[in-house]
Structure 1
Amino acid sequence: MAAERVEKRGEEEAQTRLPDLSFVHDKLQKFQSKMVSDFEQRLSCMVEDVLQDLRQRELRAHEFPNFEKSDRKSTWHNRVTNQAPADVSDAPNGHANGTQPRPPLQSETSVRKQRRQLPEKVFVARESYLTALLQVEHMRTIYHIFYIILVMFLLNVICYDYFVDGRFDLGLGTFRGGLRRLHWVLGVWLLEHVFVLALYFAFRGWALVRHRLKPHSSLQRFWSHSCLILYISSQLVFCFVSTSLCLKFNLPFVSACVLLLESTRLLMKMHAFVRYNAERVLNGKAKKEDAQEEKEASGRPFVPPLSCYTYFLFAPTLIYRDSYPRTSHIRWKFALNRLLEVVAIAFLYAFIHERHIHEHFGQYGLEPMGPSQLILKLFGMMLPCAVIFLCGFYLILHSWLNFTSELLRFGDRMFYKDWWTSHTYDGYYRNWNVVVHDWLYEYVYKDMYTHVFRGSKVGASLAVFMISAVVHEQVLGFALQMFFPVMFFLFGVVGVALVFLMRSAPKVMGNIFLWFSLILGNATLISLYAMEHYALKNCSLSNRSWTDRLLPAVWRCYN
C-alpha cells in the first residue's frame, strides 16, 4: 500500500510539473528560433559586406589604380597606436617615416598600458581623395557636370540682368556689398599675427625661466601657474577682440566671416603649439644634435626655432610638429587650377545669393507669410542649398587647402576622407573635415578622456561636440550680428542624437538617410538664417528689454 501511494504521488507530481516543462520547452523553442533568425540576418549582412568589399576592391584595382599603388591602410589612415608619437621629418621626395619599430620584448603591464593609449596623428605624403579620384575618367565626368552647373547659373544671371534690370552685373554687387571694409579686416589680421608671434617669445621666456628655477620648488610652480593663467586670459582677450571688432566696424557677412574664421584658426594654432611643446618642456626633453651643441646647451629645454613656428602658422594643418613631409617642387599649373576654382565658386555663391536667397527671402517681413508659403520657400531652397553645401566643402577643404599646400610644398593633403560614403554620423564627422577633427581629437578629446572624464569616451565626445557647436554658432552669430542659435541646436543637439541613433543602421539605408538629412538640414539652416537676417532688416522692431533681443525677429515680425 505504501508503495502504491508513493507511485501515485510521483504520478501526480509529474502531472503538475508537466505544464511547467512544456512552458519552458516553448520558451526555449522561441529563443532558439529568434537566435537562428538573428544569426541568419547577421550572417547575410556580413556576407553582403564582404561581397561589397570585394567588388569595391576589384573596381579600385581596375578604375582607381591610385588607391592600389601603396598600402591603402597606411595611405588613407592618419593615426597609429604607438608607445611614443611617430617621428616625421622632411623628405625631399614626399616621403616620411611615420612608424616606429616595436620593441622585441614587452611585459604584460606595458602591453595593457599601450592598449589604453589613444592613437597618435601621423603625417604621410599623400594626395587628397578627390585629386586621386579625378584622375579617373568616370569621376572627371561628374567634375564636368559641376562646370556646366556653374555655366548655367552664369547664363541665368546674365539673362536676368539683361531682360529685367537692363544691365550686366554678374554678381559684382554681391561682392561689393559682402567685402566692404575688407581693409579693416586686413589691418586686424596683421595685428593678430603680431600677437601670435609675441606668444612664441613669451613661451620661450617661460621655458627658460622655469629651467633656471629650482626643480619641483614652490617658486617654479608659482611661475608656471601664473604663466598658465596669463596664457588663458590672453586667449580669451584675443577671442573677445576679434568678435567685438565685427560689431564695432559693422562688418558685412563675408568680411566678418573672414575675420572670425582667421581668428579661430590662429587661436587653434597657438593652442596646438603651446600644448605640444609645453609637455616637452615639462618632461625635460632637450634636442641635442651633436656633442658640441650638447655642451653649449647644457640641458636647456628645447624650444623649436622660430622658422618652425612660422611655417606652422601658414601650413594647412592645425597639428603642430617640428617638421612635415614636403614635396620636391611646386606644381604651378595645379596651384593655378585650384585658385581658379576658388574664384569660380565665389562667383557661383554670388549668383545663388542673388537669384535664390534674395529672391525667396528678400521681402520677408513685408509680405504675407503663412505655413504654406514657408514650406514652399523651404523646398524651393533645397537644391540651391545642396549646391552651397557641396561647393563649400570643395572650396575650402579641397581647392583652397590644396592651393596653399602646393605653395608651401606641404606633403600631407588628406584634408578630408570619403565622407560621402558614410552610413553613420560617426563616420561623417570623422571624415568630413579631417583638419579640424584632428585638432579636436588631439587637443580636446584626448585631454578630456585622460584628465577630465577618466576613460569615458561618451563624456569626452559630448564635450567635443559642445565646444564645436559653440564655436560654429559664435562665428555665424557674430558674422550676421544676431542671436539665433539654430546652428547650435542642429549641430549640438540633433547631430549628437543622430550619432547614437544611426550606429546600427544598415549601410545603404544609412547612407541614404545621411544625404537626406544633410540636404534637409542645410536647407533649413540657410533658410532660417536668411529669414532672420531679412526680418531684422525689413521689420521695425523695438528692443525695449533684454528679452526682446532673445526672441527671434522671424517670430516678432508676424506676431
Structure 2
Amino acid sequence: MEPRAARLRKGEGPRGEQEDQCSGGGNTEKDRGLDLVQWTRHMEAVKTQLLEQAQGQLRELLDRAMQEAVQAYPPQGRPLPSIPPDSLNKAREPSLGKQKIFIIRKSLLDELMEVQHFRTIYHMFIAGLCIFIISTLAIDFIDEGRLMLEFDLLIFSFGQLPLALMTWVPMFLSTLLVPYQALRLWARPRAGGAWLLGVGLGGLLLAAHTAVLWVLPIHVALKYQLPPASRCILVFEQVRFLMKSYSFLREAVPGTLCARRGEAMRAPSFSSYLYFLFCPTLIYRETYPRTPYVRWNYVAKNFAQDWWNSTSFSNYYRTWNVVVHDWLYSYVYQDGLWLLGGRARGAAMLGVFLVSAVVHEYIFCFVLGFFYPVMLMLFLVIGGLLNFMMHDQHTGPAWNVLMWTLLFLGQGIQVSLYCQEWYARRHCPLPQTTFWGLVTPRSWSCHT
C-alpha cells in the first residue's frame, strides 16, 4: 500500500479532497478564514459564559461570607435580614439595598504601622517636628533673650468658651431626649386616635428639636460675637447632632411604619441610643462589635485614619472622612437611587456633592462670620469635576502626585482668600449695613 501523502499527490484521495484540488487554492483559504472567524466567535461566547459563571460564583461566596459576618453579630431583638434570592441577578444595581455592616478588624493605619519601613518614616516626621520646636525656642531665646511663649491667638480663638459650653448643654439634652421620645410615640399601636395623637406630638417635638439645634447656636454666636474656635465647637456639634438624629430616625422609623395594625413595635433600648450619640459613627445600629475594654491609648494614637495613598479624588472623598462618607452614602446616595431609580447614579452622586458642599460652606460661614463661597465653588464645581475625571481606574503613582498637587493648590487658595477676607472685613467696615454689602467680598474693594 502506498502512503497517504503519495495518493494525495496523484489525486486518488477522497472525493472531497479531490474537489478541493480541482477547485484551486483560493476557495480553500476562504473556507479556512470562515472557519477561523466562526471559531473565534465561539471562543468569545465560551469566554463570556465562563466569566459570567465565575462572577456569579464569586458573588455568591461574598454574599455567604457577609451573611456569616452578620450572623456572628446579630441585632438584639430583631430578626437577621436574609439575602434576597434574586440578589445575584442584580449586577447592574449593586448599590440598592446595601447597608453598612460593622465588623471587628484592624484599621488601615494599624496594618501599615506593622511595616518597619513605614514606622521609620513616621518616626522621621516626629523627629522633624521635635527639631522644629527646639529650633523655634532657640531662635526666640537668642533674639529676645527669653522664651516667647505667647498664646494670644489661642486665647482669642477660644474666647467665651464657657458660654459656648453652656449653649451646648441644651443642644445635647434636646438630641438625647426628643428623637427617642418621638419614636416611642410613633411606636404605639395603630388603634383609635391615640396613634394619630402620638404622631402629631412626635412631629411637634421634632420641630422643636430642629429649632433648638438650628436657632440657638446661631443666635448665641451672632449676639455675643463668639470667636472662631468657640464657634467651631457649636457648629460641629450642631451638624453632628443633626446627622445623628436623622440616622436614628431613618433606621428605626421604617420598622415602626411596617408594624401591623393594632400592634406596638418594640422601640430600641435607650442605652443603645445613648451609646450611639458618643460612638465614632453616624450610622445607627442597636449593637456594634466592641472590644472587651476601651483602649484609650489606642484611641488617642489613632485619632486620624490613613488616606494619603489615594490616586483618585473619588477614592480620596471616600477615605478622607469615612464616618461622614458612610452617612452621605447611606442617606443621600442610596436614598437618591431609591427615589430616582437605580440607573440615576450621576444625579445621586451630584446630590451627595451638593449636600456636602453646602454644609461645608455653612460651617465656614458660621465660624468666620461672613459669606465668601470659596469652599462651595472649589468643592462643588472643581471637586465634582475632578471626582468624575480622576476616577478609580487611575492607579499609577503619577496620579497620586497629581492629586496631592491639586490638594495643596486648593488648600492654599482657601487659606489665602479667607484670610484676606477676614482682615478686609475688620479694616474696611461698611458705612451702612446692606444685604449686598454682607454677601459681597470685602477684599475686592478694600485696599488699606
The CA distance in 2 between the partners of 1:489 and 1:333, in whole Å, is 39
**1:423 is matched with which residue?**
311
Residues 1:259 and 2:259 aligned together? no
Contact 1:88 1:323 in 2 (8 A): no
Change (3 A) 1:80 1:492: farther
**1:181 is matched with which residue?**
160
The CA distance in 1 between the partners of 2:258 and 2:221, in whole Å, is 41
Give 1:419's aligned amino acid.
W
Aligned pair partner of 2:284 in 320, 330, 343: 320
**1:273 is matched with which residue?**
248
**1:399 is matched with which residue?**
303
Residues 1:442 and 2:330 aligned together? yes
**2:216 is matched with which residue?**
241
SS of the residue aligned with 1:484? coil
SS of the residue aligned with 2:286? coil
**2:272 is matched with which residue?**
308
**1:89 is matched with which residue?**
73
1:316-347 CA-partner distances (Å, limit 9, x unpaired): 11110001001022335435x53xxxxxxxxx
Aligned pair partner of 1:549 in 416, 438, 441: 438
The CA distance in 1 between the partners of 2:186 and 2:309, in whole Å, is 46
Q: Structure 1 unaligned runs (5+)?
A: 1-72, 92-98, 287-297, 339-397, 401-415
Change (3 A) 1:244 1:268: same
The CA distance in 2 between the partners of 1:451 and 1:224, in whole Å, is 24
Aligned pair partner of 2:425 in 521, 524, 536: 536
Aligned pair partner of 2:399 in 489, 506, 510: 510
**2:206 is matched with which residue?**
231
What is the deviation of 1:253?
1.3
The CA distance in 2 between the partners of 1:224 and 1:465, in whole Å, is 33
Give 1:174's aligned amino acid.
L
Q: What percentage of aligned pairs have identical amino acids?
A: 32
The CA distance in 2 between the partners of 1:285 and 1:133, in whole Å, is 50
SS of the residue aligned with 2:303? helix
1:425-464 CA-partner distances (Å, limit 9, x unpaired): 1111111111000011111211111124664111111111
Contact 2:112 2:118 in 1 (8 A): yes
SS of the residue aligned with 2:424? helix
Change (3 A) 1:100 1:172: same
Pairing 1:276-295 to 2, within 5 Å after superposition: 276-284=251-259
SS of the residue aligned with 1:399? coil
What is the deviation of 1:161?
3.7
What is the deviation of 1:129?
1.4
SS of the residue aligned with 1:421? coil
1:96-138 CA-partner distances (Å, limit 9, x unpaired): xxx98757xx4x5984499563421110112321122123221
SS of the residue aligned with 1:121? coil
Contact 1:80 1:121 in 2 (8 A): no
Tell me whether 168-177 or 185-194 shows the greater mean CA deviation: 168-177
The CA distance in 1 between the partners of 2:164 and 2:204, in whole Å, is 29
Residues 1:203 and 2:167 aligned together? no
What is the deviation of 1:275?
0.6
**1:119 is matched with which residue?**
98
Give 2:217's aligned amino acid.
S
Residues 1:213 and 2:117 aligned together? no
1:361-401 CA-partner distances (Å, limit 9, x unpaired): xxxxxxxxxxxxxxxxxxxxxxxxxxxxxxxxxxxxx427x
Aligned pair partner of 2:412 in 510, 515, 523: 523
SS of the residue aligned with 2:308? helix
1:69-104 CA-partner distances (Å, limit 9, x unpaired): xxxx9xxx9x9997999467389xxxxxxx98757x
The CA distance in 2 between the partners of 1:533 and 1:421, in whole Å, is 34
Change (3 A) 1:315 1:544: closer
Change (3 A) 1:528 1:160: farther
Change (3 A) 1:167 1:194: same
Aligned pair partner of 1:129 in 108, 122, 126: 108
> For the pair shown, which has the larger CA radius of gyration, 1 or 2?
2
The CA distance in 2 between the partners of 1:118 and 1:424, in whole Å, is 26
Residues 1:170 and 2:134 aligned together? no
Change (3 A) 1:304 1:525: same
Q: Higher relative contact order by CA 8 Å / sep ≥ 6: 1 or 2?
A: 1
The CA distance in 2 between the partners of 1:493 and 1:88, in whole Å, is 43
Contact 1:88 1:325 in 2 (8 A): no
Aligned pair partner of 1:191 in 170, 174, 179: 170
The CA distance in 2 between the partners of 1:239 and 1:151, in whole Å, is 42
The CA distance in 1 between the partners of 2:288 and 2:417, in whole Å, is 42
User: Taking structure 2 as the reference length, what is the TM-score of the superposition?
Assistant: 0.75
Change (3 A) 1:169 1:240: farther
Change (3 A) 1:231 1:528: same
Q: Structure 2 unaligned runs (5+)?
A: 1-58
What is the deviation of 1:230?
5.8
Pairing 1:340-355 to 2, within 5 Å after superposition: none
1:42-93 CA-partner distances (Å, limit 9, x unpaired): xxxxxxxxxxxxxxxxxxxxxxxxxxxxxxx9xxx9x9997999467389xx
Change (3 A) 1:475 1:102: closer
The CA distance in 2 between the partners of 1:277 and 1:84, in whole Å, is 24
Contact 2:182 2:201 in 1 (8 A): no
The CA distance in 1 between the partners of 2:296 and 2:255, in whole Å, is 38
Tell me whether 530-539 or 313-322 shows the greater mean CA deviation: 530-539
1:228-255 CA-partner distances (Å, limit 9, x unpaired): 5763564255223223322222111111
Residues 1:153 and 2:137 aligned together? no
Give 2:112's aligned amino acid.
L
Residues 1:487 and 2:375 aligned together? yes
The CA distance in 2 between the partners of 1:272 and 1:253, in whole Å, is 28
Change (3 A) 1:423 1:516: same
Contact 1:88 1:123 in 2 (8 A): no
Task: Give the aligned length.
Answer: 382
Residues 1:329 and 2:293 aligned together? yes
The CA distance in 1 between the partners of 2:183 and 2:248, in whole Å, is 12
The CA distance in 1 between the partners of 2:222 and 2:243, in whole Å, is 22
